Each structure stands twice: as C-alpha cells, then as structure tokens.
Structure 1
Amino acid sequence: MNVKPNLDRSNRENIIYMVIMFIGGLALLYYNALAGIGFIAVSGVVFYLNLKNNESKKIEWMRYVENLSLNMDKIAKKAIRYLPIPMCVIEFNGKITMHNDKFSEIIGRDRLLDENIKDVVGEIDLTKVLNDENEMYSEIEYKDKRYSIVYRVIKNRTNSDVDYMMVLYWLDKTDYLNLKEKYINEKTVIGIIEVDGYEEVIKSADEENRPLITADIERVLSTFETESKAAMKRVSKDKFFLVMNREELKKIELDKFEILDKIRHIDHGNTLPVTISMGVGIDGETINDNFKMAVGALDLALGRGGDQVVVKTKDNFSFYGGKSKAVEKKTKVKSRLIGHALREIINQSEDVLIMGHRYPDMDAMGAAVGIYDLCKACGKESNIVLENLNDSIEIFAKKIKKDKYYKGIFINHETAIERCKEDTLVIVLDTHRPNFTECPKLLEISDKVVVIDHHRRGVEFISDAVLLFHEIYVSSTCEMVTELIQYMDENIKINKMTAEGLLAGINLDTKNFAFKTGVRTFEAASYLRKIGADTIEVKKLFNADISDFTTKAEIIQNTKIINNRICIGYTSSEIDNVNVIIAKAADELLNIRQVEASFVLGQKDGKVFISARSLGDINVHVMMEKLGGGGHIDIAGAQLKNVSLKKAYNMVHEIIEEFLEEDK
C-alpha cells in the first residue's frame, strides 16, 4: 500500500538541522577561521541538495496522485458500465447524462444520452424527489416487465457551483411479483350456497314438477362447479359447501356471478322464483377464518333479502345481485317463538328503554308505542327515548302526551343514559345499525339489546343482540310488533291509540298498502282494526300544511328524467320536515309513466337527505348503500354530512349513470 510521504515535516527538520550546523560553524569559525568557513560551505551545499531532493519527491508524488485519480475514474466508469443493475443518471428536467449497458438492454438501444427519460420509457414521476435527498421508490411497468425504481439525489460540484442530479436504479421485480400473484391466485376460497326459501319454492309448484326443480338446481350448480374448477358438496337439502381458488373467483366476479341469473331462470310452474344466496370468505389467515367469514357473508346476504352474493374479506365486503324481492313467509311460527322469548326477557328485566332510529317516522314511533303497551301489559314500566319531535311524528306524539295512559312515556338522551345499566333491556326498532339509533350510547352501556327490524341488512349492524327479529320481507316494523302482540299472549290488550299508531306505521311503509304488502300485512291491519284502530284518525296523522304542497311542487319542477326510466329532483328550501316532504315527492314521481325509480334530495341543519323509491325492478337499496344509506329494494334513503346539495345531487346522478351503464 502506498502512503503519501510527509514532505512538509522533512523540510522543517532540515531547517532545524541547518540552523544547528550554522551555529556550530560560527562556533568553529571563532576558534579556526578556515575550518569554520569550510564547514559552513559544506553545510550550505548539503542543505541545497536536500531541498532539491525534496522538490523532486514532491513532483513525483503529484504525478502518482494524478495517475491514481485517472485510474480510479476508469475503474468507476467500468464499474458503472458493467453494473449488473440497470442504472441511469438524469438531470431534474429528465435529460439522460449517463447510463450503463444494462439500462441500454432494457430499453433496447444504445444511444440514449441527452434524451429525455419520459420520451424513452413513457410517463414517470420525478417531482416527488425534487425536494428530498433521501432514497425514494416508485413502481413502473415497461415492456412487460415490472420495475421498482430507486431514486437518489446527488450533488455535482463544478468550481464554485453545485448541480443536483438524480441516479435511477431499476430493480426488476417481475419474477417476484409473478410469484406473489401466483401465490395469491392459488389461495383457498370458501363459499356457502343456500337456496332461498327452498321449502316455499318447492311447494309453489305442482307435485309432479317438484323433482324437476331440484334436478335443475343441482344441474346449474354442478355446471358452476365444473366451470369454476371448484369442489362442491351438498350438506343439506338447500345448502352447498364450495371450495375454489382465488383466480377462479376473480373470473366469476368479472361476470358478476352469472349463476344468480341462471338459477333465476328455472321455471317448472313454480309461482315463487328460484334464487340462491352465497357467502364467500377470502384472505383469512387460515381456512377456518375463511369459513367463518363465509358464514358471516351468507348471513348478510340472507339479511339483505337473498338472491345475491356477498364476498367478505377481513376488512371489506363486495355485493353482487340482489335483484329480487324477498319472498313473504306465510308461516307465523317464528313470530310466535320470538313473542314468547321477548315476553320472558321483558319479565326478567327491571327497566326497559325503547328507541327507534334518528328522525323517527311513524313506523318507528308506532312500533315503539306498541312495545311500550306490550311492556305495560306484562306489568313492566318502560320509556321511549326521544330527544326531539319532527313533523313525521309530531301529531301522533302530541296526542300521546295528552293521554294519561301514556304519562311520562318519553325521556330524553341525558335521562336515558343516567338510567341505563348493564342489565337494562334496550329494545331497538326499525333499524339494525348502531349509529342510526336514537341514542347509540345506550348500546355501549347495556348488555341486553333486542333488535326488531325489517330493513335489508347492511354491513354495519348490532351484532351482540340477545334477541334478533329481522325479517326483510315484512312490510314494516309495525307489522312485526303487531304479530308479536297478537301471538305473545291471548290475554294481552293494547290501547286504541297504540293500535292507530301501529296501523299508521303500516300505512306509511306500504304507501297505503300499495308496496311490499303481503297476506300477513292485511291480517295485521285487520287485527288492529278489530281492536279499535280508527282509519280516519290514522289518516289525520298524515295531514300536511300548504307549505308542504308548495315544496313538493318545487321538487316536481326541478325534476329531471334520465333515460326515460329514473327521475331525480331536489328542493333547495330548508324546512323542518324536509325529509318527510322529499319522501312523499319521491312516491309521487313514481306515478309518471315509464318511470321505474325516483330520487329526491333536500337539505336541513347542514345535512342532505335523499329519498329513493322504486317499482321493484331497480334496487335502490344497493344504490343508496354506496352513499352510506340503505333500506329496501324499493324504498331506501341516505343522509350526507358536510356535503353541499349540488355535490350530493351530482353524486346521486353519477350512481344513476353507473347503474344504467351496467344495466345495458
């Protein structure tokens, strides 16, 4: 190893030696003049020769350093040129100033200097590294290869100026990503398929055709198994267990699960359509995790009305289908069982709190008063949690307050929270979403929650209820509560005004028995009428002011019809009962010829309310779910916070356009 000599130190030592010799010469000159002069002369010659020798060594060292620098430049250039990783150096404007052979190989040509990197490889983002000297990364695909580009900002000093350049290292990740993709595609997917209302569907056909329906169901599912390269096993008369890989699931998702349509085409004289629900679990840590997610997904699919597929991952849900209305179940066995269970829970509870959803309507309030009367018949005191009145329930609530029978029926949030304990029974009506309830805090305090609801199930739901009565085919929550009262105990009697509230709730959600009305709906209404419900008094609960008609006229004037199928309207008037008015206007718009669905928007207190209605062929529940709302296939809605009316209108318009594009 060569070490630079310390020439400066040698010069300092020589000067010291010469000074000592000069002093010695002077001393010798004092004793012998001739000898002293000779000694000084010889010392001078030695000093001169030493200086000359040092200068020669210095020149030799400079030449050595220059040669070494040239050699290092050659080595560095060769190292860059033959670096096994593609690399290029560019200016901040994208101009290539240097590159190696590997970079030329991936580009496919040699002459790349002074060209712009964007012209060579296409769009590449350089802006994010302009103010960052640390290494940064980005992904790019070029000529069927996928690269991870590592950026490094370097300083290039020239005289007193400093220029900044970027070094780009191209790491080929194609093989790794292909292997990763293959691994993901081969992951196991678990599915559970259930034939919706199998018994009812089979019974709806003539006896000689029933085996044909079963055979066709098995044929369609068997074809699906073969085409998807899956393994399927029938586990009961109406359930099938399915195993496939992720790659095949992707293909099926692209086709939006055509099996739903194929099953629906089975027709052997059955009056009820054949539909299936499927729950799929993917991306779990284990196969057991996927199975549990598939079970949860199937429950969600059934809770949303069936005839659909729900694909569940650890963090997300995807929905497919949901075009059919839920089939009414004529048996009332479940209502009887729920009724007896609810009576036991009420009898075991010291305190009962009842609540519906925020901005309650007559379905929520009628059902709440029905449960209140039911608790009273069981000898238990209860209260309905209600913070503020709204125009939907104002007439009925004021009548209730005036009647001594319902003394102290309503309590506000603060009182309810103070009273609520872990063993307090909280009964939630007309919603299953915790954040939509009148007072969500009660759900956090109480360990005894009962849910009674008829809305199609959303992703968010009260999962730890001790009793769940969730039937999406039922017209209204009031119908469900009426059946519970009817079959809980023969001796239970309810107040006339309670019966009118329940009938009003049924009237509201069925649009005067025009929508979602089944045999059991009329039976419930008949029972309420028999125990004293006055239809004239019920009608008075829905009386409106002249301003309501004016607002509806404004909505109709602002209505736009899209593709002769769907209309969308709005009101810019901020009135207290805007949510009620837009719901009525949405119903009115369905009377327009050829219109199959309607959407109406209104605003109040910084929120935008959306009411959606359909004649049944268009699933407005799925469309409203994209905005965080929900409801039924033909009646749905949503509420948007921190969004202007114009922006909300555009959002709904885009959802309508997406639906029409997909429905082509």
Structure 2
Amino acid sequence: MRNKLTFKMNMPEINLYIVIIGIASTILLFYNLYIGCLFFFGFVYIVAHNWRITNIRRKEWTNYIQNLSLDIDETTKKAILNLPIPLCILEFDGSISWYNSKFNDMVESPDLLGVNIDNIVKNLNLRKVLNENKEMYTDIKYKDREYTIVYNVIKNEKEKNAKYLMMLYWLDKTDHLNLQKQYEDEQNSMMLIQIDGYEEVLKSTDEDKRPLINVEIEKMLTSLETESKGALKRTSKDKFVLVMNKKELKKLECDKFSILDKIRKIDYGNNLPVTISMGIGIDGDTVNENLKLASGALDLALGRGGDQAVIKTKDKSVFYGGKSKAIEKTTKVKSRLIGHALREVILESENIYIMGHKYPDMDAMGSAVGIYDICKSCNKFANIVLEETNESIEEFTKRLNSMDYYKNMFIDQDTAIKNCTKNTLVIVVDTHRPNHTECEELLNISEKVVVIDHHRRGVEFINDTVLLFHEIYVSSTCEMVTELVQYMEDNVKINKLTAEGLLAGISLDTKNFAFKTGVRTFEAASYLKKVGADTVEVKKLFNSDIKDFITKADIIQSSKIIDNNICLAYSNAEIDNINIVIAQAADELLNIRDVEASFVLGKKGNKIFISARSLGKINVHVLMEKLGGGGHIDMAGAQVKDVSLQTAYKMVQDIIEENLKEDK
C-alpha cells in the first residue's frame, strides 16, 4: 500500500503541466477574454522559457560528455603507457606499430617500430588469432624468462576502412614457476630400504666377517644420507628408513640408483651377493600417505626379486635395477604354514573354483590339477575353470578326461560365473594379474581368493586375498604346489597323473632342470617320482609334430644377432600353437655360442606373441614389462594386440637397443 501511494504522489513530467496550462488557457478564452489572454500569454512564456532552458542544458550535457570522453581517453592512454607489464601493438603482418616502456626494457632494443615480431620471438601464430577471433594464450621462453603471451584483437573504427590491430600482453611468470619448482623440489619423499635375504647372506659368510658386511652396508647408506641431505634411521637389523626431498631423489633417478650396484660389490667372502630393495613413496597428500606408498613400492620391489628401487606415486610405479636373481630360501617353514592355512580355507568352503592364466601351459594346468587333488583329499569337490585347450596342454587334458578320477573336473567360464557367489573359494595359480586370469569376473564376485604364483610381481596385482603364496625364487608354481602337498597337516595322496602333471610343469619352467633350479626343485621332483610320476610319460606330454620342427628351423634361419649377444627372430607361420613353438625356439637360440638372450615373435589372429629367454645376465622381465608382459629375469613373454608382425618386431628391437644404451 505504501508503494502504491508513493506512486500516486509522484509529480508528472513538466511537459504535461505545459499541455494542461495550454488547454486551460484555451478554454478560458471562450468564457473570459481578458483572463484567457492573460493565461495564454503566460502559456506562451512558459513554452519559450522551457525551450530555452532545455537547449542550454542539452549543450551543457554535451560538453560534459565530451570532456568526460577526453578525460577517459587521456586516462586510458596514461594507463596503457604506464602499464606495469610489457605490451606491444602489432599489424597483422607482424610488424610492431606501438609498444610501451616495459616492452622496450624487456627487449632491450633502441628502436622497435616497424620491426617484425618474428625477429624477436619465433613461432607466434598470429593468423590463428585472427581466425579464432578470441583471446588466446601462448607460453614462451625469452632471455631466460618465462612468459605467457595474451593475444587480443581490436578494431580501429576511426579509420575509413575498419582496421584490425593486435595487442600482445607479456605476462612474466618466471618467479611463479621458480617458486612452484622450489615447492616441488622441497617436498619430502619416504624411502624404505631392506637388505635382501639378510640371514642367508650372513650364513654364507664366515662368522668373523659378518660384522664387516654390516658395517660396510651402513657405511654406504650413511654416505647416501649425506649426499642426498636426508635423514637415515635403522629400524631393524635389515631395514632402514630414509627421508629426503624430491630434488635429491631426482638426482638418484638420473644416476639410476647406482647405490644398488655399489652394495652388490660388497665382498667379504660371502657366497651370496649383498643386495637391497628400495621402496620410495612420493607426491602423497600427507607424510603418512607417502609412507603407505613407500610400503607398497617395497612390496613391489621384493615381489619382483629384490635388488631394485621402485618409485610409487598415486598414479604409477617406476622401476630401477633388478639385475640379480632372487635368493633361494632353504627353509620350508612358509610352505608348511601356507599348507596348513590352505587346508583350513578349503574345509570352510562348499564351492571351490581353480583357474590359471589365459592360454594355460603345463605349469598352470599341472598346479591346478595338484590343487584339485588337495581339495579331493580334504573331501571337497573342486572345478578347474578352462574355456578351451591349446597345444601345450592338449595331451594332458585328454589323459585327464579319459579317467573317472577327474570326471566333471573342467567347467567353462559361463557356468563358473553363474554358480559363483561371494562365499565361493577361488584359487588362482601361476599368475597374479587379474586381467591374465582365465575368468577375471570370478575375482569380482568372490570374496575368498587365494593366489599361488612364482612370477616377478607387476604393477597389477590381485588384492584382498585371504591367502597369498607368492615366492619369486621358486622355479615353478608346480614346485610350490608340490611342497604344499608334502607339508600339509594331513598326508595328501595325489594321483599318478597329477604327479606327472606337476613334474611336467617343473620341467617346462626349468627347461629340463637347467634354469632356476635349486635344491628344493630337485627335492620336489624326487617326491613326485616317489609317488609314481613316470619321466617317459612326462616327456611324451611335450612331443611335437613335424610342422613344429620346420617352423622352429625357419625361426632360427630368420635370426638376427644384436650387439653380438642378443638374438632376435620371428615366425610368419600360421599355426594354432605358435606361442609354444616360439617359446621352444627361444630356448634353442640360447644354445648359440655367445648369445646371452633371445627374443622370438609369432602371430596368431590379431595378437603378436613374444617369448624372451636369457642366461641370467640380461633381465628379460624388465624388457617384456615395457610391452605389458612380464615373467622372470631369465624367462618372460608379452602379447601385443592389433599391430603387424613387422611393427611388433621393430618395437622389440627398439626396446633392446634402448636397454643396451642404458647399460653402456
């Protein structure tokens, strides 16, 4: 109501009063001539006075606007002239038409008018700015200073034909970047250090020399502390914590962690080499998060065989070192403990699935059947998930399917997924990578997963396992399963064919007991022989036909020797078991004198299979890991999809040559 009242009390415009007076004076002329004339003359005066005053005020307002525009123009000019950042105005051909004092100070040239901007700064795409018709930004480096150039197009309307100019603002961000770099360099990194196989190394040394090894290790790590300006603390007899800033860590990266090589040279009569594993956590939001990252990095380093440094952030992991083989542990306590725990887990489960990796070999299938027999000894029925067989396990699966003992043992993926629940026990053998398993979906459904594997650990890993048996120094998963059979609480009886499958897996991964063979390997083989494994029948599992021999001969003929000690070969053969043939060919190539490593490629469908073998001096696991594969220091492989054989061959060759450059 108050607003409405205010509206009614507002005074009308003055022109309305004049019109009312004019109408009133006209009406009065009809009723009273004298009074009407008086009012009419008053009306004429008011109109004339109003017209005069309006003109005066219009002129005053025009003058005010003009003066204000002049003031604004003058202020704008002064602001541009005194702008605290470099500024220049360009024609679209790049010539400088105007610049302020800051730009002149930046360029340090007496006369810049008409000079093309390309003579000062290269690669400024001025035409693109005109086409885009919007502000654009370019980062450049000029005279050791970092700038962001802001482009702004303006139109000059005063010209007869509209003229476009370009204003370039030079924002100096050098101090900001230096401060940002200083902040990043001063961030703390957490490093956990562990001496690999500490007890075994000391036992391999004379008792009077053992303290000297300890002193030498601590001396080298203290030297690392001093050089990196960090803080070192020994937390136990074989573990250390080192804190340093990121800048010093980058120096260690550039040096490729030479501390690993220095410690490996410690020699006081020890039969086993002294090596360390380093887990480094950086770029965490807190110190505690860096510690967790470092712990995960150390687990990765140890899971890959030790003697290496792993730098872990929230997004990725970077590996250095890894030149030594893992030290074989003579104690079987862990196998006994895992065997007991596995038995308890099996007894608690009603539904059990066993699976290996895709394209399973005899190590995966032999160990899977070994676990099947363990379950059977515990009066639990288990299934092995197998979608399809391949040449490497075809003979073995035929024998299994022909016996009632293994009746209904194999199931396909769809059946397993359909019947799997969160309480289903899933036992994964011969792999630890989720995407390499026969059926990854089972890992997402089940909450009870057991992993038994001997491969060097990669970045991808099956997490949240109820039981993990991961020993990278062991020759094969079949050896691990054989030890579980031996040392479970109750005596487990295995079938003769199961024993032959386990022995075949050990033979495959050790290349007939030539590689990665320790005392425990022979003990496992001896036990399998004792329970009925026939070595002749095992050999028959690996028999090949004449086509395979011809293909291997062609591979050997295609061999190329790199740096006098690395053999690279390929096969164009279109055969189903090409992955097996190239693996066998890679083994054969190591028989060539002076050859330390071999790489063989073969194609099957849209995949390129790569098999890599080494006598131990060259770490083929690290090389294959760059192609998404993995394995061991002396035996590894990879698969590459949707590329030609020639492209894959070039990729492998480039990786080999890059590794050779790093070692020189």
TM above 0.5, yes or no, is: yes
> Does 2:82 match 1:82?
yes
Change (3 A) 1:554 1:88: farther
Q: Aligned equivalents of 2:287 and 2:204: distance in 1? A: 38
Structure 1 segment 76-475 matched on structure 2, within 5 A: 76-124=76-124, 129-157=129-157, 164-475=164-475
Q: Aligned equivalents of 1:290 and 1:637: distance in 2? A: 32
Q: Aligned equivalents of 1:537 and 1:206: distance in 2? A: 45
Change (3 A) 1:242 1:573: same
> Does 2:639 match 1:647?
no
Q: Aligned equivalents of 2:92 and 2:386: distance in 1? A: 64
Change (3 A) 1:200 1:642: same
Q: For 1:330-366, what per-residue CA distance to the aligned partner results, in whole angstroms no more than 9, with x for missing partners?
A: 1111111111110111111101100000111111011
Task: Tell me if the contact between 1:356 and 1:438 (Cα under 8 Å) persists in the aligned partners.
Answer: yes
Q: For 1:369-415, what per-residue CA distance to the aligned partner results, in whole angstroms no more than 9, with x for missing partners?
A: 11111111111000100111111111111111111111111100000
Q: Look up the SS of the partner of 1:148 in the other structure.
A: strand
Q: Aligned equivalents of 1:124 and 1:536: distance in 2? A: 76
Q: Aligned equivalents of 1:155 and 1:566: distance in 2? A: 67
Q: Look up the SS of the partner of 1:561 in the other structure.
A: strand
Task: Tell me if the contact between 1:133 and 1:154 (Cα under 8 Å) persists in the aligned partners.
Answer: no
Change (3 A) 1:56 1:448: closer
Residue 527 (structure 1) shift = 0.9
Structure 1 counterpart of 2:152, one-letter code: R
Structure 2 counterpart of 1:536, one-letter code: V
Residue 186 (structure 1) shift = 1.4
> Quick one: percent identity of the two aligned structures?
67
Residue 519 (structure 1) shift = 0.8
Residue 133 (structure 1) shift = 3.4
Change (3 A) 1:371 1:226: same
Give the match for residue 559 of structure 2: 559
Residue 608 (structure 1) shift = 1.5
Give the match for residue 598 of structure 2: 598
Deviates more, 1:321-330 or 1:67-76: 67-76
Structure 2 counterpart of 1:114, one-letter code: G
Residue 297 (structure 1) shift = 0.8
Give the match for residue 583 of structure 1: 583
Residue 132 (structure 1) shift = 3.0
Q: Look up the SS of the partner of 2:280 in the other structure.
A: strand
Change (3 A) 1:174 1:528: same
Residue 151 (structure 1) shift = 2.7
Q: Look up the SS of the partner of 1:153 in the other structure.
A: strand
- TM (norm. structure 2) is 0.89
Residue 518 (structure 1) shift = 0.8
Q: For 1:533-591, what per-residue CA distance to the aligned partner results, in whole angstroms no more than 9, with x for missing partners?
A: 11111111111122222222332233222211222222233321111111112112222
Deviates more, 1:68-77 or 1:211-220: 68-77
Residue 55 (structure 1) shift = 12
Change (3 A) 1:166 1:541: farther
Change (3 A) 1:538 1:79: same
Residue 213 (structure 1) shift = 1.0
Q: Aligned equivalents of 2:162 and 2:258: distance in 1? A: 64
Give the match for residue 521 of structure 1: 521
Deviates more, 1:264-273 or 1:202-211: 202-211
Structure 2 counterpart of 1:579, one-letter code: N
Q: Aligned equivalents of 1:597 and 1:166: distance in 2? A: 62
Q: Look up the SS of the partner of 2:564 in the other structure.
A: coil
Deviates more, 1:494-503 or 1:130-139: 130-139
Structure 2 counterpart of 1:366, one-letter code: G
Task: Tell me if the contact between 1:453 and 1:470 (Cα under 8 Å) persists in the aligned partners.
Answer: yes
Residue 91 (structure 1) shift = 4.5
Structure 1 counterpart of 2:458, one-letter code: G
Task: Tell me if the contact between 1:346 and 1:425 (Cα under 8 Å) persists in the aligned partners.
Answer: yes
Residue 245 (structure 1) shift = 1.4
Deviates more, 1:81-90 or 1:399-408: 81-90
Structure 2 counterpart of 1:228, one-letter code: S
Q: Aligned equivalents of 1:476 and 1:271: distance in 2? A: 24
Q: Aligned equivalents of 1:462 and 1:546: distance in 2? A: 40
Q: Aligned equivalents of 1:288 and 1:555: distance in 2? A: 53
Deviates more, 1:587-596 or 1:311-320: 587-596
Structure 2 counterpart of 1:273, one-letter code: P
Residue 612 (structure 1) shift = 1.2
Structure 1 counterpart of 2:397, one-letter code: A
Q: Aligned equivalents of 1:93 and 1:357: distance in 2? A: 64
Change (3 A) 1:61 1:212: closer
Structure 2 counterpart of 1:419, one-letter code: N
Structure 2 counterpart of 1:263, one-letter code: I
Give the match for residue 659 of structure 1: 659
Residue 508 (structure 1) shift = 0.8
Residue 64 (structure 1) shift = 9.5
Residue 114 (structure 1) shift = 3.2
Change (3 A) 1:94 1:507: farther
Q: Aligned equivalents of 1:463 and 1:143: distance in 2? A: 52
Q: Aligned equivalents of 1:91 and 1:499: distance in 2? A: 86
Change (3 A) 1:99 1:309: same
Q: Aligned equivalents of 1:559 and 1:71: distance in 2? A: 84
Q: Aligned equivalents of 1:126 and 1:514: distance in 2? A: 67
Residue 429 (structure 1) shift = 0.5
Residue 427 (structure 1) shift = 0.3
Q: Look up the SS of the partner of 2:120 in the other structure.
A: helix
Deviates more, 1:516-525 or 1:545-554: 545-554
Q: Aligned equivalents of 1:362 and 1:127: distance in 2? A: 65
The CA RMSD measured in Å over matched residues stands at 3.3
Residue 90 (structure 1) shift = 3.2
Q: For 1:13-62, what per-residue CA distance to the aligned partner results, in whole angstroms no more than 9, with x for missing partners?
A: xxx9xxxxxxxxxxxxxxxxxxxxxxxxxx9xxx9xxx9x9999999999
Unaligned 5+ segments in structure 2 are 1-18, 20-43
Give the match for residue 9 of structure 2: none
Give the match for residue 610 of structure 1: 610
Q: Aligned equivalents of 2:473 and 2:328: distance in 1? A: 5
Structure 2 counterpart of 1:146, one-letter code: E
Structure 2 counterpart of 1:420, one-letter code: C
Q: Look up the SS of the partner of 1:636 in the other structure.
A: strand
Change (3 A) 1:348 1:92: farther
Q: Aligned equivalents of 1:489 and 1:603: distance in 2? A: 46
Task: Tell me if the contact between 1:132 and 1:153 (Cα under 8 Å) persists in the aligned partners.
Answer: no
Change (3 A) 1:620 1:131: farther
Residue 312 (structure 1) shift = 1.0
Deviates more, 1:563-572 or 1:295-304: 563-572
Q: Aligned equivalents of 1:573 and 1:125: distance in 2? A: 52
Give the match for residue 4 of structure 1: none
Deviates more, 1:90-99 or 1:420-429: 90-99
Change (3 A) 1:567 1:416: same
Q: Aligned equivalents of 2:366 and 2:132: distance in 1? A: 63
Deviates more, 1:592-601 or 1:524-533: 592-601
Q: For 1:240-286, what per-residue CA distance to the aligned partner results, in whole angstroms no more than 9, with x for missing partners?
A: 11111111111111111111011101001100000000111111111
Change (3 A) 1:57 1:222: closer
Residue 641 (structure 1) shift = 1.9
Task: Tell me if the contact between 1:355 and 1:384 (Cα under 8 Å) persists in the aligned partners.
Answer: yes
Structure 1 counterpart of 2:470, one-letter code: H
